[in-house]
């Protein structure tokens, strides 16, 4: 059976829980850990759900927020509903 996989990126929630309300609050903390991103890259990292994130970025964020990867990303997996195919017609020729 096919599985449907989805995830929720929780970086903005972790930031808010620690009183960080602007993406600019995160930039110097990342820079201290050797990750230099432009302001627009940090903004996208905070406000959008990334498709790809490096392990170094995950490690830096975990260090900044004293958390594990499971706190940054919540994964859900469910069985996909089977797609019923329409009945086939046979021609009578």
Q: What is the pLDDT of residue 93?
A: 59
Residue spans per domain, the chain? 3-79
Q: How confident is the model at residue 32 (pLDDT cuts 50, 70, 90)?
A: very high
Burial category of 2 from C-beta neighbours within 10 Å (exposed 0-12, middle 13-18, buried 19 and up): exposed
**Which of 1.10.357.10, 3.40.50.300, 1.10.260.40, 1.10.10.10 would CATH assign to domain 3-79?**
1.10.260.40
Q: What is the mean pLDDT of the chain?
A: 92
**What distances in angstroms separate CA 59 from CA 44, 63, 79, 86, one per listed residue?**
18, 6, 31, 48
pTM equals 0.79
Predicted confidence (pLDDT) per residue in 43-88, tens digit: 999 999 999 999 999 999 999 999 999 999 999 998 877 777 666 7
CA–CA distance, 58 with 53 (Å, rounded to integer): 7
pLDDT at residue 2 greater than cutoff 90: no
């Amino acid at each position: 059976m096919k599985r449907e996989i989805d995830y929720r990126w929780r970086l903005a929630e972790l930031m808010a829980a620690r009183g960080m309300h602007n993406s600019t609050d995160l930039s110097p903390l990342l820079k201290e850990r050797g990750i230099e991103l432009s302001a627009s890259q940090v903004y996208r990292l905070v406000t959008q759900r990334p498709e790809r994130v490096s392990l170094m970025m995950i490690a830096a964020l975990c260090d900044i927020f004293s958390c594990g990867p499971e706190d940054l990303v919540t994964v859900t997996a469910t069985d996909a509903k089977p797609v019923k195919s329409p009945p086939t017609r046979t021609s009578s020729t």
